[in-house]
């Protein structure tokens, strides 16, 4: 049997750099700040870090709008700072993954600045430029994730350009081979520096088709959900019918994989999604031989939380497709959804007092599944979301667009609190921070929790040490379909040397592991 690769069993700690640790007193987290906290991350016992984008960017979507992929945004530091981080992380045996955004860049990227000027410049065909319809309207009915049309008018070219997110995030034209070459150069740049892998942002939104583009079909199954963001007209269309997830995207998957294969032991994890219930098919397509190593699964990230039964369904769907492989990465939290400690209590019928036990149970659950698990900064502390960021202090463009009905993603992005005795909880010396530090988080500051026995951090850390010694987790990626009563999730992890029955009891909020 071949030994598993590091990424097939990895526990990956996601860092949102803006909110992790400020080192220069400007109220914004930065790379040297992360470097000073690597011991905290390493002591937790994770295998890798994934850092959300820190590249040069006007920060309209907080780094997911890149204006130079090969440089660092000054507020986050310099390339030298990054090299230091990488060296120190490696000295702690932590792999480092960076967040590459291949579908779109910033409208301030030199590629777009040139492209938008005329129809005959050197970058004229690097974005999706389309003439208006006869009546002057946009080429298709496509809508943007963040509100409004996916097409914006450029007077100089008398044409529309495509953007699946903000108008300041124009979609790159992946049908142009020069675009793919430029992106592969960037991939080599970071691999050459020593990064161990990429989280690939929103790869299902890459567009490599050529005009004329088709309209999206109407989502006939659309039901107005209970969440405020469900009301966005975006969800009334079937995007995979035209706008997203078109087969040609796989040219990108293949190209980036062949670059990665020229390096030793690197990892490509794609963020992908589909319409309705098609996420697994999409993940399978993206991870076919010669494409991405794994995809990042959204099914446990449901905004409104999941009941035990729904978790079992979500896990089962993934196992049916990916069992005996490490081609999937599970997550309960990230920088795009409310934190577990806030969104999971109600669907699990639990009280606030049970929050810590629930958090620990969910951390253990995701790290007992096959493949890798991504945990988001602050989950190890059981941080709750902030519900009281004043509307005038909102930063997330999605929230700003739809507030007050829907306030976006700021609530899970507030700065980490490290030390409750320090100003801003030790996050920053600045008078003000980019998002407010939450008072409630002071009672769960990172350094106090890391040093306290019985805390979520300590319990999870001991669990991860134990996990590393179990062949059932580390030597094979096989598990049974989860079963159990209404309030339990039970499955068996199997390997040649060990079969381990894993029992997650959502009534008593405890786990049991039995060798069978
Ligand atoms: C990222 C988001 C970002 C979007 C556009 C994603 O899926 O996780 O934070 O806004 O891509 O790049």
CATH code (residue 331)? 3.20.20.80
State which residues of the chain have pLDDT below 50: none
Pocket test of ligand 1: the residue of 61, 103, 169, 395 to mutate, having most ligand atoms within 8 Å of its CB, is: 61
Domain membership flag for residue 157? no
- 210's enclosing H/E stretch is none
User: How far does residue 407's CA lie from ligand 1's centre (Å)?
Assistant: 16
Is 299's C-beta closer than 6 angstroms to any atom of ligand 1? no
| Buried/exposed 296-325: b ≥16 CB within 10 Å, e otherwise | bbbbbbbeebbbbeebbebbebbbebbbee
Å from CA of 62 to ligand 1 middle: 9
For residue 230, what pLDDT is reported? 76
Report which ligand 1 atom has the smallest distance to the Cα of 164.
5
273 pocket-lining for ligand 1 (C-beta < 6 Å):
no
The whole-number pLDDT of residue 413 equals 98
DSSP assignment string, 148-170:
SBSEEEETTTTEEEE-SS-TTSP
Task: Give me the torsion for CA of 500, 501, 502, 507, rounded to 10°.
Answer: -160
What pLDDT score does 222 carry? 87
CB atoms within 10 A of CB 149: 17
Residue in 271, 275, 379, 459 annotated catalytic:
271
- Residue 201 C-alpha to ligand 1 middle, in angstroms? 6
| Residue 410, ligand 1, Cβ within 6 A | no
Q: What is the pTM of this model?
A: 0.98
449: containing domain: 6-103+177-475
Residue located nearest, by CA, to atom 5 of ligand 1: 64
Q: Look at ligand 1, atom 7, and give the residue with the nearest C-alpha.
A: 202
Q: Is the CB of 65 under 6 A from ligand 1?
A: no
Residue 168 lies in a domain: no
Measured from the Cβ of residue 385, the count of other Cβ atoms closer than 10 Å reads 23
The set of residues, in sequence order, having a beta carbon less than 8 Å from that of 278 and lying 6+ positions away, is 240
Find out whether 444 and 452 touch, Cβ atoms under 8 Å.
no
Question: Is position 456 within any domain?
Answer: yes
Annotated catalytic residue 380: no
Distance from Cα 181 to the centre of ligand 1, integer Å: 23
331 touches ligand 1 (CB under 6 Å): no
pLDDT digit string (tens) for 208-220? 999 999 999 999 9
165 lines ligand 1 (CB under 6 A): yes
Q: Is residue 115 part of a domain?
A: no
- The span from the CA of 432 to the CA of 436, in Å, is 7
Q: What is the pLDDT of residue 1?
A: 65
In a domain, 165, yes or no: no
**Strand, coil or helix: what is 510?**
strand
Total count of domains within the chain: 1
Residue owning tokens 């030298």: 80
Say whether 505 sits in a helix, a strand or coil: strand
**Does the C-beta of 160 come closer than 6 Å to ligand 1?**
no
- DSSP, collapsed to helix, strand or coil, labels residue 256 as helix
The answer to whether 271 is a known catalytic residue is yes
Q: Is the residue at 282 inside a domain?
A: yes
189: three-class secondary structure by DSSP: helix
The answer to whether residue 317 is domain-embedded is yes
Q: Judge whether 147 lies within some domain.
A: no
């Amino acid at each position: 049997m071949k030994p598993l690769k590091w990424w097939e069993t990895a526990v990956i700690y996601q860092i949102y750099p803006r909110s992790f640790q400020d080192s220069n007193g400007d109220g914004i987290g930065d790379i040297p700040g992360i470097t000073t906290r690597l011991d905290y991350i390493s002591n937790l016992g994770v295998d890798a870090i994934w850092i959300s984008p820190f590249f040069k960017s006007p920060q309209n979507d907080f780094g997911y709008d890149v204006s130079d992929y090969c440089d660092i945004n000054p507020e986050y530091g310099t390339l030298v700072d990054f090299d230091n981080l990488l060296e120190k992380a490696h000295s702690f045996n932590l792999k480092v993954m960076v967040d590459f955004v291949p579908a779109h860049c910033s409208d301030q990227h030199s590629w777009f600045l040139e492209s938008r000027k005329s129809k005959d410049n050197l970058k004229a065909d690097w974005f999706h430029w389309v003439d208006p319809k006869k009546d002057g309207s946009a080429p298709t009915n496509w809508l943007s994730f963040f509100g409004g049309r996916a097409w914006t008018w450029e007077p100089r070219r008398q044409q529309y350009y495509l953007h699946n997110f903000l108008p300041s995030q124009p979609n790159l034209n992946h049908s142009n081979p020069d675009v793919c070459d430029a992106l592969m150069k960037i991939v080599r740049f970071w691999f050459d520096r020593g990064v161990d892998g990429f989280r690939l942002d929103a790869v299902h939104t890459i567009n490599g088709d050529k005009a004329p583009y088709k309209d999206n079909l109407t989502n006939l199954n659309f039901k107005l959900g209970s969440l405020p963001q469900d009301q966005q007209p975006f969800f009334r269309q079937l995007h995979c019918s035209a706008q997203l997830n078109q087969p040609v995207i796989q040219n990108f998957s293949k190209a980036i994989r062949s670059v990665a294969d020229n390096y030793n032991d690197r990892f490509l994890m794609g963020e992908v999604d589909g319409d309705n219930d098609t996420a697994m098919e999409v993940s399978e397509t993206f991870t076919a031989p010669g494409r991405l190593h794994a995809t990042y699964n959204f099914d446990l990230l449901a905004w409104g939380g999941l009941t035990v039964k729904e978790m079992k369904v979500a896990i089962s769907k993934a196992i049916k497709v990916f069992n005996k492989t490490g081609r999937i990465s599970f997550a309960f939290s990230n920088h795009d959804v409310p934190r577990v400690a806030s969104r999971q209590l109600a669907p699990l019928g639990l009280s606030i007092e049970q929050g810590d036990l629930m958090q620990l149970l969910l951390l253990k659950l995701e790290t007992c599944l096959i493949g890798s698990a991504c945990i988001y900064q602050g989950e190890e502390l059981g941080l709750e979301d902030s519900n009281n960021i004043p509307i005038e202090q909102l930063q997330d463009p999605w929230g700003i667009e739809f507030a007050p009905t829907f306030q976006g993603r700021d609530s899970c992005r507030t700065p980490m609190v490290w030390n409750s005795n320090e100003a801003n909880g030790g996050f920053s010396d600045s008078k003000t921070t980019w998002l407010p530090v939450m008072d409630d988080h002071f009672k769960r500051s990172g350094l106090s929790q890391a040093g306290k026995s019985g805390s979520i951090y300590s319990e999870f850390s001991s669990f991860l040490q134990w996990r590393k010694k179990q062949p059932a987790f580390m030597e094979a990626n096989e598990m049974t379909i989860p079963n159990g009563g209404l309030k339990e999730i039970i499955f068996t992890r199997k390997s040649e040397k060990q079969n381990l029955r894993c029992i997650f009891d959502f009534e008593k909020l405890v786990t049991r592991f039995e060798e069978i």
